[in-house]
Amino acid sequence: MELIKNAAESGRFSKVAFTCRTQEPKDQEVREMVDELLEQLYGEQGLRAILKKGDHVTIKTNIVMCHTGAYGEKGRAIITDPRVTRCVAERVREVIGGDAELRVCDACFSGDANPSAVGNKCSFHWARLNRVPDDTVSPEDVCYDYDADGYLDGTSHARLVNLDAIGEDGRDLHVVQMADGSEVKVAMPRFLRTREQANGEGEFTDVLIGLPVMKNHWYVGMSGALKLHYGFRSLPACKGDSGRRGHSGFYTVWKDGGMELHHLERLENYLSAIQKVRPYDLVIMDCLTMDRDGPGTPSGAVSCGRDIEEQADYILTHSMLASDDPCAIDTVEAAFAGYRTESVTLPRTAARNGIGVADPAFILMPAEERFKFQKLRIAARYSPEGRYPLSRSGHPELLESADPGYAVDLTDYGRQPDGEGLHHIRYRVIPTRPGFVPKLSRADLCIGGTVVQSLVGLEGLEGEFTFRYADYDNMNHAYLAGRVCVWDTSFNCVPGYSEFFIAPDDERLPD
């Protein structure tokens, strides 16, 4: 085991924020949830931690196939909830000012430069949250662009961009060297250059924000932050990049109904390469719904002409995630879906290529037990119906239970220091299901509500922390109150049965 002090300041950990409600949030509550996530990540600064006045910002949302879904709820669980997109854009505008460039973009499956063309059912105009139970775009709906003027509805005045209207003259070719020795060609929109790369000429992006929606995915198991980047890829081949139509991994569907996946490693490499060219600075994931079968919702696929009136197979979670690390947030997403995190391999491929952190031991979640409790609520509601965990499309491995399956006990703590002035806190993990061995990732020592030490690379079910009273006396000679929390690879946080209390060294307590 390795002991790490001040994990949040070590530079080795990524942070994933989480918030939820126990029932479907109202519009104002969605805004409050976004603000909660930003506070968990950045504290009181919020977006000002990564933005300043005058910055050029691009927001990548997901409106692909917004015309699909059941009558009266088109796009539900298929596209990023427009309330999330509008809230984030308006928060960004508050920081960067009214004159700074703000784009919201996605692919519209058309070369039309008009991102909101009424004649294109995949345009921003048709992307909305239905409030009127019909298949029209109504003023009562929460829309991306109800009046089809090319700007996001609401107060942000963000310019909408159809990425499929950007041809070769608006793209730059990047040849990316991958960790496995291969080369990947990426034709990326030129406006995603940094200010420094643009050198004062043409368009650029200072801060890139991704807003994926939580979905299972036929190819890579989960469609999250890493997969969201795929929309930047051109639809046809471009400058040596084979384009979305050329794909980098695909299924063969046999006459007997069976399917075979080919070249998953190529697709994962491409998704990693495009992130290496320009990664997200912030990801806020719409987990208000979980799409159980992603592009096959629930039959066919985007390229196979599925029934556009078919009900999307989704469940309600009333939750959201956020991080500045796409690997970390996608790893947490896989756990939220009820999968074994190690079985969804895209985040690990991206991590090997330097995109972020995919090891659960090095992912911090400030929300702690809220994540576990929300999973238990979802399981209680949907597991009896066989709808949670999500679909096995993409071949992820399902968890047997949403319950962590273990408890944590303090076996000993040194209320008095030893001869070297050290206090010892010993803990033990106790499985609560017969024959179950939990997959543990990290143990945290928390004093005064702050994680002060972490053990990673856990071996066995027992561990020990040591410290001097003076190390953590931040309240002027007060008693130190603390606890031990143990995490597993599914991001269940299980605190010890009881807290410990350590007196100042000159106030000895009897054993």
Q: How much is the pLDDT for 387?
A: 95
Cα angle 418, 422, 504; round to 5: 95
Residue written as token pair 């719904």: 289
Work out the average pLDDT over 249-254.
68
pLDDT for 365 beyond 80: yes
pLDDT digits (tens, 9 = 90+) for 4-61: 998 888 889 999 999 999 999 999 999 999 999 999 999 999 999 999 999 999 999 9
pLDDT for 346 beyond 90: yes
pLDDT classification of 508: cutoffs 50, 70, 90? low
CA distances for 218 relative to 13, 115, 168, 296, 424, angstroms: 30, 28, 29, 7, 49
Q: How much is the pLDDT for 263?
A: 82
Query: Which tokens hold the place of 232?
Result: 């930047």
pLDDT for 301 beyond 70: no
Work out the average pLDDT over 473-496.
89
Query: Which tokens hold the place of 403?
Result: 């319950």
Helices 82-96/27-42 angle, 10° precision: 50
Pairing of strands 259-262, 282-291: unpaired
For residues 117 and 417, the model is more confident at 117
pLDDT for 509 beyond 60: no
Instruction: Report the candidate in 320, 322, 343 with the shortest Cα–Cα distance to residue 392.
Output: 343
In the chain, % of residues over pLDDT 70:
94
The alpha carbon of 12 is separated from its chain's Cα centroid by a whole number of angstroms, namely 18
Q: How much is the pLDDT for 476?
A: 66
Q: What is the DSSP string of 274-303?
A: HHHHS--SEEEEEEEEEESSTTSSSSS-GG
**Cα separation, 359 vs 341, whole angstroms:** 9
In this structure, what DSSP letter does residue 241 have?
B
**Cα separation, 38 vs 142, whole angstroms:** 23
Contact 410, 500 (CB under 8 A): yes
Give me the sign of the Cα torsion angle 279, 280, 281, 285: negative
Domains and CATH numbers, the chain: 2-385 (no CATH), 406-502 (2.60.40.10)
- 3-state SS class at 490: coil
Q: What's the mean per-residue pLDDT of the chain?
A: 92
In the chain, % of residues over pLDDT 90:
79
Query: Which tokens hold the place of 108?
Result: 């519209």
**Cα separation, 23 vs 381, whole angstroms:** 12
Where would I find the beta strands (DSSP E) of 14-87? 14-20, 57-60
pLDDT digits (tens, 9 = 90+) for 434-481: 999 999 999 999 998 899 999 999 989 999 999 998 898 876 677 888
pLDDT classification of 304: cutoffs 50, 70, 90? low
For residues 252 and 214, the model is more confident at 214
Q: How much is the pLDDT for 308?
A: 83
pLDDT classification of 409: cutoffs 50, 70, 90? very high
pLDDT classification of 260: cutoffs 50, 70, 90? low
Instruction: Report the candidate in 56, 271, 61, 235 with the shortest Cα–Cα distance to residue 161.
Output: 61
pLDDT classification of 418: cutoffs 50, 70, 90? confident
Write out the H or E segment, with its range, that includes residue 271: helix 264-277
Q: How much is the pLDDT for 302?
A: 52
Q: How much is the pLDDT for 317?
A: 97
Which range has the worst mean pLDDT, 56-70, 96-110, 245-259? 245-259
**Cα separation, 121 vs 114, whole angstroms:** 12
Work out the average pLDDT over 273-278.
97
For residues 19 and 415, the model is more confident at 19
Work out the average pLDDT over 66-81.
93
Work out the average pLDDT over 235-252.
86
Query: Which tokens hold the place of 176?
Result: 């990316």
Which range has the worst mean pLDDT, 91-105, 243-257, 285-299? 243-257
For residues 109 and 251, the model is more confident at 109
